[in-house]
Amino acid sequence: MRIAIVTDAWTPQVNGVVRTLQTIRGELERMGHDVEVISPDLYGSIPCPTYPEIRLALVRARVVGQAIAAFRPDAVHLATEGTLCLAARRWCLRSGVPFTTAYHTHFPDYVAQRTGLPAAWFWRYIRWFHGPAQAVLVSTRSVRDQLRAHGLPQVRPWGRGVDLTAFSPDVTPPDQFADLPGPIMLYVGRVAVEKNLEAFLAADQPGSKVVVGDGPARTALEKAYPQAHFMGPLFGEALAGAYAGADVFVFPSKTDTFGLVMIEALACGTPVAAYPVTGPIDIVTPDTGALSDDLADAIAQALTKDRAACAAYGQRFTWDRSAREFLSGLHPIDPDLMDSAA
């Protein structure tokens, strides 16, 4: 099968959407499928306001359509809601080419936090953007219910996975952890306002708070919380070691639809503390962590969980299964239709 994936999120960005798409492409190619990724680096672009790491492609629908048609895909997937996928969406609708989309982030809440405008305004855009899609791929049941409630009934499941060759309880923790008073509380992810990181750093819980990642809020948070340990971005074995060496993984975000970092932490045997919101409520079980509107209370409860149970549960999330769900959600294109579109 030939699959065209159009995305506004791609390297050199570092986030869960990029990691998901990169891994899924690898899994699909391993299965024998041909995958073409159409991303902002192929075109002129400008930095996204308030999020300069994201590049907004400046490209006409016809140009993106030519790239799609030249690949002659059997299915087209629009991964994000940015300018590049807007152009691809416009071309698909004009050409009568069916496509699927995905809902990776609570876009209305995310933009509302950055602009101060009501989230309801942005739900109109979400309904408009995803409405013509043959299917909207979403990661959890609660997100499916939410999108249905907002007028998008064509939702299909697409879960996430863990690289079990990299993330396990047996990885050596970073040397820095040896000198930190316990318990070690870990956050991994983008250091930005929408991640609600301040709720973690301000939580009244003894021990050491460690932040892995980078982002526009890092400088201000380092100044405001000098007792916290900011390690910057980590990858591969170093990241796995941070997960495995922590006593609890703290996920303070209220805008994520899944939270890939949670299942990576669990696969390393580390319980999760989070708010009872979309993402955590679909992943964290009573045996593998704790959810509470009081984050400090969730941390205290999570510290009592059995690490072996966490690891066993986390290792159930595989990228092979995720890739097969992605495939089942795609909508095939009639070859004659692609001939006429080209």
pLDDT at 252 over 90: yes
Q: Which CATH class is domain 175-316?
A: alpha beta
pLDDT at 50 over 80: no
pLDDT range class, residue 16, cuts 50, 70, 90: confident
pLDDT at 6 over 70: yes
pLDDT range class, residue 257, cuts 50, 70, 90: confident
Residue range 124-149, pLDDT digits in tens? 999 999 999 999 999 999 999 999 99
Query: What pLDDT does 105 receive?
Result: 76
Q: What is the overall mean pLDDT for the chain?
A: 93
Q: Which of 52-66, 103-117, 254-268 bottoms out in mean pLDDT, i.e. has the lowest?
A: 103-117
Check if 2-161+320-341 and 175-316 are the same fold: yes
Query: What pLDDT does 112 receive?
Result: 62
pLDDT range class, residue 298, cuts 50, 70, 90: very high
pLDDT at 103 over 70: yes
What phi, psi does 273 have (nearest 5°)?
Answer: -115, 135
pLDDT range class, residue 118, cuts 50, 70, 90: confident
pLDDT at 119 over 70: no
Q: Which CATH class is domain 2-161+320-341?
A: alpha beta
- Please state the pTM of the whole predicted model: 0.88
3-state helix/strand/coil string of the chain: CEEEEECCCCCCCCCHHHHHHHHHHHHHHHCCCEEEEECHHHCCEEEECCEEEEEEECCCHHHHHHHHHHHCCCEEEECCCCHHHHHHHHHHHHHCCCCEEECCECHHHHHHHHHCCCHHHHHHHHHHHHCCCCCEEECCHHHHHHHHHCCCCCEEECCCCECCCCCCCCCCCCHHHHHCCCCEEEEECCCCHHHCHHHHHCCCCCCEEEEECCCCCHHHHHHHCCCCEEEECCCHHHHHHHHHHCCEEEECCCCECCCHHHHHHHHCCCCEEECCCCCHHHHCCCCCEEECCCHHHHHHHHCCCCHHHHHHHHCCCEHHHHHHHHHHHCCCCCHHHHHHHC
Of all residues in the chain, what percent carry a pLDDT higher than 90? 81
**What whole-number distance in Å separates Cα of residue 65 and Cα of residue 26?**
24
- Could you state, in order of their start, the residue ranges of all structural domains in the chain? 2-161+320-341, 175-316
| Mean pLDDT (whole number) for 253-268 | 93
| Mean pLDDT (whole number) for 242-261 | 94
